[in-house]
Chains A and B, each alone.
Chain A
Amino acid sequence: MLKNTLLFLLSGFLIWSSLVLFLLFNGSEEQQVKDISRSFKVKPGQMFQTEGHYHLSVLGTPVAEYLVELPSHQWSEYTYLLVDSDFQQTDFHAQLVWKSGDVAFQTVPLELGKSGMAIIPRITLNENGPFEVYLQMTQSVDLGEVTNAPEFRFKRFELMTDSVQARLMYSWLVMTDLKSLKISSLNFWAIQFFSISFACGVLFALTIWIVIGWLLKVEMKVMVLALMSIWIIFSTPIWLNQWQMKGLMKSQFDKLADNNAINGLDYRLKKISDHLSQTITELHMENLPIMIMDHNAFSRTRLAYHLHRYNVLTALSLNNIPVVKSKKGISTMLMLISQQLLPECEVVTLGVNAFDDGRLIWSEQGYCLVKI
C-alpha cells in the first residue's frame, strides 16, 4: 500500500509539473514588450502626460475611436495587451476594434480600473488583408443628452509576446481577478479567462491522476489529501482577495449603512421622493397613482422604491395615461418626469392629447412634478 501511495504521489508530481511546464514553455516566445501608450493617433492637445499617468481627453461624443499607429504585420507578433488604468466610470467602456476599411471584424473588450491583460487575436494579413486597430471608447448616454467629456486616465498600454513571463502574469491576473463588489456587480463583464489549453490540460491531468489513484487502489485519505493540496494552490488568490476585500471595505465604508440611501445619487432621489410625499399629502392625492418617467433605470426604480407608500407606475408611455384614467375612473394623476424627457419642464411640449389640463407643480433637481 505504501508503494502504491508513493507511486500515486510521484505520478501526480510528474503529471502536474509536466502540465505546468507544458503550459508555460510550450510554444513560448522570447519576452518582448512594446509600449504603445503614445501610439494613439489623437488631435493636438488631446493627450498629455503627468507623473505616472497619461490622460486622453475623450471628446463629447458617445463613441470615440483612436487609431493605434502600429503596422498590421506587427500586431501578429504579440499575444497579450496589458492595460493598466485606474480610471473607472460605470457608463464608460473601452475595446480594441480591428477594421478592414470601414468594416469591423474583430473586437477585444478591455477592462479598466485596474491592471488587466487581454489576449489579442492573431490575425494574419492573409485573412483579412491590411487592417487597422482602433481604441474605441463608448459612453452610454440617453438620446439628446450631452455627454460628459471624461478624461481617460491610464498608466500604460503594453503589447507582450507569448513569453513565459507574460503567461505567468496573465494566469495570475485571471486567478486574482475576482470582481470587486459594486451595487449590482454580479452581472459580470467577464473579460479575462483562462485559455482553453489551460482548461484542457487541467481537466486531463486531474482525470488521469484520479484514474491512476483508482488503478493503484490508493486510500481515500491519500486521494483527498492530494486533491486538497491542488485545491489549496489553486485557491490561494481567493484567500488574498478576501483579505484585501475586508480591508478595503473597512477603509471605504467605515460607517453604519444608511438604509435609506445607498449612494450619492440615491440621496438626491430620496430628497425628491420626500418632497413629492409632502406635496401629495398637501394635495390629498394619496390614493391616486403616480407615474414616474425617467430613462435611467436606476433612478426610475429607486424612486419607485422610495415612493412605495403610493401606487407607482413606471416604464409607461404617455399613451397609457388616458387608458389609466378611463379604466380607473380618475381624472387626475401626478407625473414625476425627468427633465431629460421634459426640457425646462415645458408641459405643453408633451403633446395636447396626453394632457388636457397639465400643470407644473414644481421642478427640482432635474425632475418636474406635473399634475395631469
Chain B
Amino acid sequence: MIEALIFWLGFIFLGFGVNFLLVRKKNKQFGLDAFVLFLGLFVFIVLAQIFQFLGWSPDCLWVIPIFSFLGLFLWLKDKRFQYWDYMTVLHLFLAVLMVWWLALDMPLSAWDSWLVWELKAKQWLAHGWSINLLQFQDWLHSDGGVVSSTAHYPDGLSLLFFLGKWMSGSSVWMAWFLPLVYVTIVVTVIDVFRKQGASWSLQIFGYLVFFTLPLINNHIMMEGYADIWLAMTLLLLMVQLAYRHYYHHHHFLMMLSLIFLLPAFKLEGWFWVALFLTAQFIAQFLNNRYRLILAGLILVVFVVWFVPSYWHFSWAGRTVVFSQFFIQLGSYFSIQLVPHDISSEIITGLLLQNNWGLLWYFLPVVMLIWVLIKYPKDDRVNQVFFVLSFVSFVLLFTFTDAAQWAENYAAVNRVVLQLTLCFVFLLLHTLMSWDRVANKRI
C-alpha cells in the first residue's frame, strides 16, 4: 500500500511538474488531479518507450523521480493554490474511505494480468528491456528476440509492472494503485461538477453511482484487466473536452496524453481514438441541428438495412457489390455482413445482469434529452462520440465474427465497461443541465 501511494504521488507530481513547466502562465491555478496523474503516466510511458527503443539502460528512468521531486517543489512553492478548503478535505476523506472500500486485504490478480502484462515485464527484466519480443512465427524468421505469446499487446501496463519490479522487485503495489487511480479520477470528475455549480445532492449522487457499479467494483478489486484503464482514460478525455475552458492545464498536452494512453493500454484504443476524431469532425462541422441529422442518419441506415427483405446492387461486372450481407469494392475492400441476432445478449448484458445497477436504464431518457435540447458545441463531441461508440459496439457484435463471443457475456461486458464511466459522466452532465432542460419545451 505504501509503495502504491509513493508511485501514485510520484506520477501526480511528475505530471504536475511537466504541466507547470509547459504552461508558464503566472495567473493560472494549478491543482493535483487525475489529469496530471495521467499526464505523469503518459510522460513515463513515452520516456520508457524511447529509452527502450534507443537501447538505453533502465537506469535512465531515474530521471523520472527527479521530475517528480521538481513537481513537488513547484507545488509547494506555488502559494496561489487554494485547495485547502473544507471541500478538499472532504474529498480527501472520501478518497481514503473509498480506497479502503474498494481494495481488498490481499492483492488479487486476474489471469490476463500475469499472463499478459506482468509476464512481459518479467521478460524485460530477464532479457533486457530492449529485447525484441516476438510472436512465434515472427521469431522463427528473425534473428534474436524472445518468443512471447503476448508480444502484440501494447506496452503501457507492462511498463507500469516493470517499473515496480525494477525498482523494488515487486509489482504487488499495482493492486493498490488501481483503486487509488480510480478514486482520484472520481474525485476529479465530481470536483469538476462542483466548480460548475453542481449542488451537493448531485455530487453525492455522482459518488454513489461511481462507487456502486458492481462490475466496475469487481474490476477495481481484481486488477489486471485493461478495460478499466481504457474506461478511465475515456472518461478523462470526455471531461477534458467538455470543461477545458475551466481547467488551467495545457489543454493540448492533456488531450495528447489521454489520446496516446488509449492505444497504449489496449489495442482497441486506436478505435476509440478514431471515433473521437470522427465525433470531433461531426460535431464541429455540422450545423446546430446535428443531433437530429445524426439521429436521422442512424435511423435511415437501420431502416434501409434491416426492414426490407433482401436487396442487392452490383456494378461493373459485380466487382462493386452492395447488399445487406456483403459489401465489395473491387479488390480493395470486401466484408461479409452476416447479421446475428444478438439483441437478447445486449439487452441482457445492459439491463438484466445487474452488473451496472440502474445505470443503463437511464439511456433512453438521456438520449431523448440530447436529441431535443440544443447543447453547447463543447458538449456535442462527447455526445456524438458516445452515440458512435454505442452504435459501433452494436454493429460489431451484430455483423462480425465477434458475435460468437456475444453469448459469452464476458465479451459484451468488456466493451460495455469501457463505455460505462463515460455514460455516468454524461448522465451527471445531463442532470447538471436539468434546470435548463426543464425550462425547455420540445
Provide the B118-155 mask, 1 if CB < 8 A to any CB of A, else 0: 11001100110000000010001100001101000000
Of the listed stretches A61-69, A300-308, A339-347, chain B binds A300-308
Q: How far is the CA of A262 from the CA of B106 in the complex (A)?
A: 11
Decide yes or no: A246 and B438 within 8 Å by CB, A207-B365, A305-B114 being known contacts.
no
CB neighbours (8 Å) of A227 from chain B are 205, 431
Of the listed stretches B60-68, B209-217, B285-293, chain A binds B209-217
Q: Which of A107-125 contact B (CB under 8 A)?
A: none
Provide the B212-253 mask, 1 if CB < 8 A to any CB of A, else 0: 101001110110010000000000000000000000000000
B358 part of interface (Cβ distance < 8 Å): yes
Provide the B351-364 mask, 1 if CB < 8 A to any CB of A, else 0: 11110011001101
Most chain B CB within 10 A, of A194, A220, A221, A245, is at A220
CB neighbours (8 Å) of B208 from chain A are 228, 231-232, 235
A174, B354: Cβ atoms closer than 8 Å: yes
CB neighbours (8 Å) of B122 from chain A are 305, 308
Provide the A325-336 mask, 1 if CB < 8 A to any CB of B, else 0: 001100000000
A132 part of interface (Cβ distance < 8 Å): no
CB neighbours (8 Å) of A301 from chain B are 115
CB neighbours (8 Å) of B114 from chain A are 262, 305
Decide yes or no: A213 and B217 within 8 Å by CB, A190-B409, A202-B358, A315-B149 being known contacts.
no
A186 part of interface (Cβ distance < 8 Å): yes
B202 part of interface (Cβ distance < 8 Å): yes
Interface residue from B111, B146, B172, B217 paired with A242 (Cβ < 8 Å): B217
B202, A220: Cβ atoms closer than 8 Å: yes
* Nearest chain A residue, comparing its CB with the CB of B413: A188
CB neighbours (8 Å) of A185 from chain B are 222
Q: Which of A183-210 contact B (CB under 8 A)?
A: 183-188, 190, 193-196, 198-199, 202-203, 206-207, 210
B209, A231: Cβ atoms closer than 8 Å: yes
CB neighbours (8 Å) of B118 from chain A are 305
Q: How far is the CA of A203 from the CA of B171 in the complex (A)?
A: 43
Interface residue from A174, A194, A220 paired with B435 (Cβ < 8 Å): A220
A181 part of interface (Cβ distance < 8 Å): yes
CB distance from A169 to the nearest CB of B (A): 15
A186, B222: Cβ atoms closer than 8 Å: yes
B434, A259: Cβ atoms closer than 8 Å: no
B214, A203: Cβ atoms closer than 8 Å: no
CB neighbours (8 Å) of B309 from chain A are none
CB distance from B321 to the nearest CB of A (A): 38
B136, A313: Cβ atoms closer than 8 Å: yes
* Nearest chain A residue, comparing its CB with the CB of B108: A181
B338 part of interface (Cβ distance < 8 Å): no
* Nearest chain A residue, comparing its CB with the CB of B145: A311
Q: How far is the CA of A223 from the CA of B428 in the complex (A)?
A: 12
CB distance from B258 to the nearest CB of A (A): 25
* Nearest chain A residue, comparing its CB with the CB of B136: A313
Interface residue from A235, A255, A304 paired with B357 (Cβ < 8 Å): A235
Provide the B394-425 mask, 1 if CB < 8 A to any CB of A, else 0: 00000000000000111001000000000000
A177, B354: Cβ atoms closer than 8 Å: yes
Decide yes or no: A311 and B365 within 8 Å by CB, A257-B172, A305-B119 being known contacts.
no
B119, A304: Cβ atoms closer than 8 Å: yes
CB distance from B46 to the nearest CB of A (A): 25
Q: How far is the CA of A213 from the CA of B438 in the complex (A)?
A: 8
* Nearest chain B residue, comparing its CB with the CB of A216: B438
B104, A206: Cβ atoms closer than 8 Å: no
Interface residue from B106, B119, B348, B432 paired with A190 (Cβ < 8 Å): B348
* Nearest chain B residue, comparing its CB with the CB of A178: B214
Q: How far is the CA of A245 from the CA of B104 in the complex (A)?
A: 8
Decide yes or no: A184 and B110 within 8 Å by CB, A224-B199, A242-B101, A249-B104 being known contacts.
yes
* Nearest chain B residue, comparing its CB with the CB of A234: B358
B347 part of interface (Cβ distance < 8 Å): yes
CB neighbours (8 Å) of A174 from chain B are 354
A25 part of interface (Cβ distance < 8 Å): no
A220, B431: Cβ atoms closer than 8 Å: yes
B214, A238: Cβ atoms closer than 8 Å: yes
- Chain B residues near A (Cβ < 8 Å): 101, 104-112, 114-115, 118-119, 122-123, 126-127, 136, 140-141, 146-147, 149, 170-172, 199, 201-202, 204-205, 208-209, 212, 214, 217-219, 221-222, 225, 347-348, 351-354, 357-358, 361-362, 364-365, 408-410, 413, 431-432, 434-435, 437-439
Q: List 19 A-B contacts (CB under 8 A).
A: A174-B354, A181-B218, A194-B353, A196-B347, A199-B351, A211-B365, A220-B432, A235-B208, A235-B212, A238-B217, A238-B357, A249-B105, A254-B105, A256-B106, A305-B118, A308-B122, A308-B126, A309-B126, A311-B146
List 16 other contacts, CB 8 Å, given A220-B432, A309-B127, A311-B146. Answer: A178-B354, A181-B104, A183-B108, A188-B409, A193-B352, A219-B435, A230-B358, A231-B208, A231-B358, A235-B357, A238-B212, A239-B212, A253-B105, A259-B170, A304-B119, A327-B141
